[in-house]
Amino acid sequence: MQERKDVMASLSARRQTFRRQARLAVVACAVAVLGCLAAGAARGEVRNAKALPSVLQGVGIEQRLNNQIPLDLPFRDEAGDAVRLGDYFGRQPVILALVYYDCPMLCTLVLNGILNSLKELKFNVGQDFQVVTVSIDPREQPSLAAAKKAVYVGLYGRPGAANGWHFLTGDPESIRQLADAVGFRYHYDAQTQQFIHATGIMVLTPQGRLARYFYGITYPAGSLRLGLVEASQGKIGNPVDEVLLYCCQYDPMTGKYSFIISRVLKIAAAFTVVTLGAMVMVMFKTEPRRAP
């Protein structure tokens, strides 16, 4: 009997020692992880700040969810006819893309990304939703818009797409007002003779309110489908979307896409701490059962 008591006391002491060591290990690990992540984030932000050229200052896409865009703005369609932005709203949700048709780099990737996503959707352009592509270059003419439309509608290849995918051009004031309404910040660089801009598309409700933003050049078909469904019901994206959609940005210095370090590290740090805590709780619960 005394021997059994001694064994049980020894096991109890070992369990207590294990728990103390596990707690210390978790705290030390969490502090180390957070410290490393914070340091990495700081270094990343410093590098980004130093690497950011002046030409990119003020360029980006600011989410303005639930903002009403001005539907009375005048534009010209690919046939050269005068239209109003509101002509494409009223009954269906709308995917909006601000690009310019003679862009040598990103705009083609944006349009390709839209095309790839649309081809995966069971929804049909023109029947279930509209796509409105607007040039930010006021010098571009409807003939260029028509050529772009012919390419992408042809590649899409579904009946009725020509009546649902629109390529517009406009004067500087209309373009600027639309860009301001959706938070699309860009400017023209005389040195390169190109428009400096970010990449992304927006989903709007049939009434013309901004429901969702998609950043980058690829737009997952499942997420886009959900955005269209919610927008058709007048729903606006929640704050979680902003965290996810800000994860990557285009770096014109390297010609690649990269993560925004600070945001990803903050998310990773929180996930790491939670995971470690869960592991320790499991160990605490299972260790006493194994000892006897």
**Residue 243 near residue 267, CB atoms below 8 Å:** yes
Beta strands in the chain (DSSP E): 60-61, 74-76, 82-84, 94-99, 130-135, 165-168, 184-185, 187-189, 194-196, 200-204, 210-215, 248-251, 256-259
Which of 64, 90, 279, 83 minimizes the C-alpha distance to 169?
83
- Which residues does residue 68 pair with via DSSP β-bridges, in sequence order? 209
Residues making up the chain, counted from first to last: 292
pLDDT mean over 13-22: 60
Contact 280, 26 (CB under 8 A): yes
Predicted confidence band of residue 58 (pLDDT cuts 50, 70, 90): confident
Q: Are 97 and 134 in contact (CB under 8 A)?
A: yes
Q: When comparing pLDDT for 256 and 141, which is higher?
A: 141
Would you say residue 264 has pLDDT above 90?
Answer: no
Average pLDDT over residues 9-14: 62
| pTM given for the model | 0.68
Residue 118 has pLDDT above 50, yes or no: yes
Burial class (CB in 10 A: 0-12, 13-18, 19+), 191: exposed
Q: Which of 257, 267, 207, 198 is nearest to 232 (CA)?
A: 207
Residues 162-197 have pLDDT tens digits of 999 999 999 999 999 999 999 999 988 888 788 888
Residue appearing with tokens 């390709």: 112
Please report how the helices 221-232 and 106-120 are oriented relative to each other, as an axis angle in degrees rounded to 10.
Answer: 80
Which tops the pLDDT comparison, 259 or 155?
A: 155
Q: What are the C-alpha distances in Å from 132 to residues 1, 27, 122, 125, 163?
A: 84, 52, 19, 11, 11
